[in-house]
Structure 1
Amino acid sequence: MRQKIVRLTLVAGVLVLALLLLLATCGGGKDDGRAKEPVKKSTGPATRLPVPSAYTTQRGWELIGTSSDYAVSRTTGRLAYLVRAAGYQFRLRTVDSDTGRAGWSGEAWRPPAANHFPKLLTVTADDHEYFVTWSYGKIGENALTPPATIVSLDVYGVEDGSRRRVEVPWNTVPTITATGPGILISDGRSTSVVVSPRTGRISKVPAKSLKYPKDCASCKQLTEVRGLTSKGLLVSGAREFWVQGGWFSRNVAPKGTDRQSGVPTSVAPGVVLAKWKLDKKSKDAATHDLWTVHDAETGKPLVSVACHKPAIEPGQYPQAVVSPSGGYLVAGNLAFDLSAREGYCFEDGAGAKALTLASVTDDGTAYGATSVRNAAEVLAGGGHPVKVEVTAGTADLLSSNVRVPSAEGAQGVGLFRWTDEKDRLHLIGYPRTKSVPED
Structure 2
Amino acid sequence: MRTTRAALAVILAGVLVAGCGADGDGGPDKSGAGRGEGAHGSLAKLTVPAAYDSGRGWDQVLDWVPEDAAADPVATDGETVAYLVRSGDGYAVQARDGATGEVRWTGAPYRTPPMAPDAPGAVEIPGVGIVRQGGRTYVVVWATGERTGDALGKSEDVVQVGIYPADASGGSVAPLHRVSVTVDTQESAVEVRDSGAGLLIMWRDAGHHSAALDMESGKVTRYDDAAALIPGCESTTCLDSRAVAVTVKGPVINGAQGGMGVPDGWRGEDVAPEGVEAGRTFVSGEQNGTLTGVHDGRFVARWRQAGDSGASVRSAHDLADGRLLASTACEEDGQEPELPPAASPNGAYLAQGTVLFDVKAGKGLCLAGDETRRSVRIGAVSDSGTAYGVTYPESSARSVVELDASTGSPKVLPEGTLLPAATLDGAALFTQRENGTGLRLSVRLEK
- Normalising to structure 1: TM-score of the pair? 0.79
Equivalent residue of 2:328, what SS?
strand
The answer as to 2:155 corresponding to 1:147 is yes
Equivalent residue of 2:229, what SS?
coil
Equivalent residue of 2:54, what SS?
coil
Q: Which moved more, 1:92-101 or 1:134-143?
A: 134-143
**Could you tell me which residue of structure 1 aligns to residue 294 of structure 2?**
267
User: Structure 1 residues 97 and 219 mapped into 2: Cα distance closer, same or farther (>3 Å)?
Assistant: farther
**Could you tell me which residue of structure 2 aligns to residue 168 of structure 1?**
181
Equivalent residue of 1:117, what SS?
coil
**Could you tell me which residue of structure 1 aligns to residue 417 of structure 2?**
402
**Could you tell me which residue of structure 2 aligns to residue 69 of structure 1?**
73
Report the AA paired with residue 108 of structure 2. Answer: E
Assess if the C-alpha contact under 8 Å between 1:113 and 1:135 holds in 2: no
**Could you tell me which residue of structure 1 aligns to residue 381 of structure 2?**
360
Q: Which structure ranks higher in relative contact order (CA pairs < 8 Å, sequence separation ≥ 6)?
A: 2
Assess if the C-alpha contact under 8 Å between 2:332 and 2:368 holds in 1: no
Q: Give the distance between the partners of 2:389 and 2:371, measured in 1 at CA.
A: 21
Report the CA distance between 1:141 and its aligned residue: 4.8
* Equivalent position to 1:43, from 5, 14, 20: 20
Q: Give the distance between the partners of 2:429 and 2:53, measured in 1 at CA.
A: 12
The C-alpha deviation readout for 1:358-383, integer Å capped at 9, x for no partner, is: 11111111111114449xx9xxxx71
Equivalent residue of 1:60, what SS?
strand
CA RMSD of aligned residues (A): 2.7
The C-alpha deviation readout for 1:167-212, integer Å capped at 9, x for no partner, is: 1222344322223222222225543222221121222334268531
Q: Which moved more, 1:133-142 or 1:121-130?
A: 133-142
User: Structure 1 residues 140 and 399 mapped into 2: Cα distance closer, same or farther (>3 Å)?
Assistant: same
Equivalent residue of 2:95, what SS?
strand
Structure with higher helix content: 1
Equivalent residue of 1:264, what SS?
strand
User: Structure 1 residues 332 and 84 mapped into 2: Cα distance closer, same or farther (>3 Å)?
Assistant: same
Report the AA paired with residue 53 of structure 2. Answer: T
Report the AA paired with residue 194 of structure 2. Answer: A
For structure 1, which runs of at least 5 residues remain unmatched after alignment? 1-40, 434-439
The answer as to 2:181 corresponding to 1:184 is no
The answer as to 2:348 corresponding to 1:327 is yes
* Equivalent position to 1:277, from 292, 300, 304: 304
Question: Among the aligned pairs, what percent are the same residue?
Answer: 25
Q: Give the distance between the partners of 1:248 and 1:192, measured in 2 at CA.
A: 20
Q: Give the distance between the partners of 2:73 and 2:129, measured in 1 at CA.
A: 8
Equivalent residue of 1:57, what SS?
strand
**Could you tell me which residue of structure 2 aligns to residue 293 of structure 1?**
316
Report the CA distance between 1:143 and its aligned residue: 7.3
**Could you tell me which residue of structure 2 aligns to residue 385 of structure 1?**
400
* Equivalent position to 1:307, from 330, 339, 361: 330
Aligned length: 378
**Could you tell me which residue of structure 1 aligns to residue 430 of structure 2?**
416
Report the CA distance between 1:117 and its aligned residue: 2.5
**Could you tell me which residue of structure 2 aligns to residue 225 of structure 1?**
243
Q: Give the distance between the partners of 1:336 and 1:385, measured in 2 at CA.
A: 20
Q: Which moved more, 1:78-87 or 1:314-323?
A: 314-323
Report the CA distance between 1:73 and its aligned residue: 4.2
Report the AA paired with residue 325 of structure 1. Answer: N
Assess if the C-alpha contact under 8 Å between 1:70 and 1:79 holds in 2: yes
**Could you tell me which residue of structure 1 aligns to residue 167 of structure 2?**
159
The C-alpha deviation readout for 1:376-422, integer Å capped at 9, x for no partner, is: x9xxxx7111001112222111101100211122x312111012234
Report the CA distance between 1:62 and its aligned residue: 0.6
User: Structure 1 residues 245 and 84 mapped into 2: Cα distance closer, same or farther (>3 Å)?
Assistant: same
The C-alpha deviation readout for 1:301-341, integer Å capped at 9, x for no partner, is: 2211112242xx23742322122221111122211111111
Q: Give the distance between the partners of 1:258 and 1:195, measured in 2 at CA.
A: 34
Q: Give the distance between the partners of 2:302 and 2:345, measured in 1 at CA.
A: 24
Q: Give the distance between the partners of 2:234 and 2:394, measured in 1 at CA.
A: 35
Assess if the C-alpha contact under 8 Å between 1:90 and 1:117 holds in 2: no
Q: Give the distance between the partners of 1:208 and 1:80, measured in 2 at CA.
A: 33
User: Structure 1 residues 137 and 360 mapped into 2: Cα distance closer, same or farther (>3 Å)?
Assistant: same
Report the AA paired with residue 156 of structure 1. Answer: Y
Report the CA distance between 1:42 and its aligned residue: 4.0
Q: Which moved more, 1:415-424 or 1:214-223?
A: 214-223
- Bigger Cα Rg: 1
User: Structure 1 residues 95 and 396 mapped into 2: Cα distance closer, same or farther (>3 Å)?
Assistant: same
The answer as to 2:76 corresponding to 1:60 is no
Q: Give the distance between the partners of 2:211 and 2:407, measured in 1 at CA.
A: 42
